[in-house]
Amino acid sequence: MRKTSLILLTTFLLSVSAFADEGMWMLSQLKQLDLNTKGLQIKPEDVYSPDQTSLTDAIVWLGGCSASFVSDQGLLLTNHHCAYSALQRNASKSGIDYIKNGFLAQNRSEELPALGTNAYVLEKIEDVSDKILLSVKNISDPVQREKIVQEKMAAMEDEIEGNREDVSARVASMFKGQQYWLFVYKKYQDVRIVFAPPASIGKYGGDIDNWMWPRHTGDFTYMRVYMAPDGSGAKYSPDNVPLHPKNHLRISQTPLREGDFNFIIGFPGSTTRWHSSYSVAWSLQHRFKERIREFSEILQLMDDFGEKDPQAKIKLAGFHAGLANAMKNYQGNVDGMERTDFVNQKRAFEAELMRFINQNPETKGKYGHILTDIAEQYKHLEATYQRDAAVGNLGWLAGNMSSLASQIYSVAREREKPEAEREPGFSERKVKQAAERLQYRFLSFYEPFDKELFLRALQKAKSLPNDQKISALQPILSKQNLKEFVDEAYAKTKLKDPAVAKELFFKSTKELNALDDPFIQLAAKLYDLNQQIKEEKKSFNAHINELRRAYIDALYAWKGEGLYPDANSTIRFTYGYIKGYQPKDAVWYRPFTTLTGVVEKNTGQEPFDMPAKLDTLETTKSFGLWEDPQLHDVPVAFLNTCDITGGNSGSAVMNAKGELIGLAFDGNYEAMTGDWQFDDSIQRTIAVDIRYVLFLTDKYAGADYLLKEMGLGK
């Protein structure tokens, strides 16, 4: 819907009272939200309290997704797509396609290790702003200031973690460095898969339905968290026992209705609502449009390999899913920004801000330079963008061998620096952790595709304009036949052996250079340029964050308080109501989908290839306890007005009583610009209804023991 005024654009600046559903709020801000007048039927301290057991104690971070405990035996619920990599790794290792076929453990002894998955349970939140900011009180240079801040944050984290493998600490910046908060987690390293539906349920609709409504995906998986007998978060061992969490969520047994109050607690990844029009324009052209072209080409490569070799499809499944999801997100942002002329709307808003700033000599002196200075920073970024992007692609879009060699060589160079000159946070403990996690990377390694990615990255670098050429690469790029070079590099490298690659994390640069490995040689050639680009980005980030802090200060001066910080993978609370929306003229989307809709979409062909058993259950109306009395059907998914973003996947959606009603797993395509602004008329969270989860657990899988464990014994 095209906006004709600045009203909706400026809503992201208004206080809590202006738009009830907006905001990814810090837990420390709950009391200012007046939640009981808005529908919450429990006390705010029942949601979060540092002094007593609360719902927050049942919320788990998976390092990129969210989850929640649903029993006192460490049973977790999260999204199917959050367990996708663990399923893919098990499939790669065993040859059994757990993604296609699904998995159900009949008892605890059959549960699959969720390879590479850690569960982080929050133990402490502390405002450490004074401790951080006092250390830079008299520092005026932004780069030096940022360096000291990063060192202080890393030292604080290291002091808490020590040498303990089951403790994770993170200091997070809020409002671009106006506040700093410490989050301490217990890290559990033994997580196991209990029940994952087949892709024909858990990924029903595939990329076609991704980000779309109406949605009919059973996007859930059960996992279980284990601990050592002594209570530590040890790695997998048959001696480990299920974790007994401080709290777990109870399942709602009350029908869900349109208009019902509900809320979400999870770990949203990243938003950019406090960024300027220059950031919007940059992201539109470089982050979104160019990445869409890149990802589209790479996805086609994966599809081609997958058609020829089923093993390739399994190996590349996780990478494919992640890239496809990101590409559709980017396309939605492009469509939304262009449809609403978002860049110019943002500029018009900033013109209003500048009129406020310039009308007063004091505010003009403080903030009058902000937008001009921000524009200058983006000019610097633009000057070497093509070169920087090509070098960056050689690190992560050039295959496992290239990125692995770069990581190994960088570790060796960092280790050889004087300790005072090392990157903040560098430690041998973290190097060891990276080396141990290497095994999971190789479970996704498919050499023919890896070679194509590497060749593609080299060709991209070769096609750079003359003023952006990478001189260190010219001896390679000048070769007549790059494909022959690539074939020789893969034939010669020792990095394809996981055991050898792991050992290299602990070698010196002299030892690495002596290997005469083509990928290590490439990493060595690019190291100085990579460091130069890294320093340039540090400078950009330091200066731009200082300007963004001033920008936020100006917004405070203009609009008053009641703001929430951008998402940054720290725990947040958001609330709203069950509600449909109008995507276009004369169309209204209702807030519930049902099992009937699943059957209606079924074509028998992927991605609409529902299992025959579901068809039988729908035809015979074998809904059991999970039928909605008004819908006369099993609810599959629902919409609410909660404010979420990536990272919220798997988040518990709770009703006014704090009972579990579903799992957030997506947003709607029409509101893909939601990371930049919130529009309560159109932005919706898509959640899988807990009744569909339980229906599938009961009627499809026959996993009665899980129902009983959750207190739902029949």
Res 11 pLDDT > 60? no
- Catalytic residue check, 190: no
The helix (H) or strand (E) run that includes residue 471 is none
Q: Which of 699, 606, 697 is nearest to 199 (CA)?
A: 606
Q: How far apart are CA 222 and CA 693, in angstroms?
A: 10
Which 8-state DSSP code applies to residue 660? Answer: E
Of residues 57, 219, 666, 689, which has the active-site annotation? 219
Q: For the segment 661-680, what is each residue's pLDDT rounded down to a tens digit?
A: 999 999 999 999 999 999 99
Q: Residue 286 burial (CB < 10 Å; 0-12/13-18/19+)? A: middle
What's the one-letter identity of residue 691?
A: R
**18 pLDDT tier (thresholds 50, 70, 90):** very low
Res 15 pLDDT > 80? no
Residues for the chain: how many in total? Answer: 714
**Alpha-carbon separation of residue 264 from 217, 313, 532, 563, 687 (angstroms):** 19, 34, 42, 18, 10
CATH assignment of 7-118+189-271+566-662+682-709, among 1.10.510.10, 2.40.10.120, 3.20.20.70, 2.60.120.10: 2.40.10.120
Q: Write down the pTM of the prediction.
A: 0.94
Res 702 pLDDT > 80? yes
Q: Which of 29, 135, 172, 168 is nearest to 567 (CA)?
A: 172
Q: Which of 166, 197, 199 is nearest to 184 (CA)?
A: 166
The crossing angle, in degrees rounded to 10, of helices 518-559 and 370-383 is 170
**What is the predicted pLDDT for the residue at 16?**
36
Q: For the segment 552-569, what is each residue's pLDDT rounded down to a tens digit?
A: 999 889 877 678 999 999
List all residues 6 or more positions away from 587 whose beta carbon is below 8 Å from its beta carbon.
Answer: none
Rounded to a whole number, what is the distance in angstroms from the first to the last CA of the chain?
Answer: 48
Tell me the percentage of the chain whose pLDDT exceeds 70. Answer: 97
CB neighbours of residue 425 within 10 Å: 13
**What is the predicted pLDDT for the residue at 396?**
84
Q: Which of 359, 352, 245 is nearest to 5 (CA)?
A: 352
- Catalytic residue check, 81: yes
Pairing assessment for the beta strands 221-227 and 190-196 based on DSSP bridges: antiparallel
Q: How far apart are CA 65 and CA 544, in angstroms?
A: 28
Res 497 pLDDT > 70? yes
How many CA atoms lie less than 13 Å away from 640 in the CB half-sphere?
32
Q: How far apart are CA 441 and CA 25, in angstroms?
A: 35
Kindly report the CA angle at 369 between 366 and 370, in degrees rounded to 5? 90
**Alpha-carbon separation of residue 207 from 211, 313, 323, 324, 328 (angstroms):** 8, 15, 11, 7, 8
Q: How far apart are CA 471 and CA 389, in angstroms?
A: 15
Q: For the segment 438-483, what is each residue's pLDDT rounded down to a tens digit?
A: 999 999 999 999 999 999 999 999 999 999 999 999 999 998 899 9
Where in the chain are the domains? 7-118+189-271+566-662+682-709, 277-557
Of residues 252, 444, 649, 651, which has the active-site annotation? 649
The values of phi and psi at residue 666, to 5°, are: -165, 170
Q: Which of 2, 16, 215, 67 is nearest to 571 (CA)?
A: 67
What value does the mean pLDDT take over residues 562-580? 95
**What is the predicted pLDDT for the residue at 156?**
97
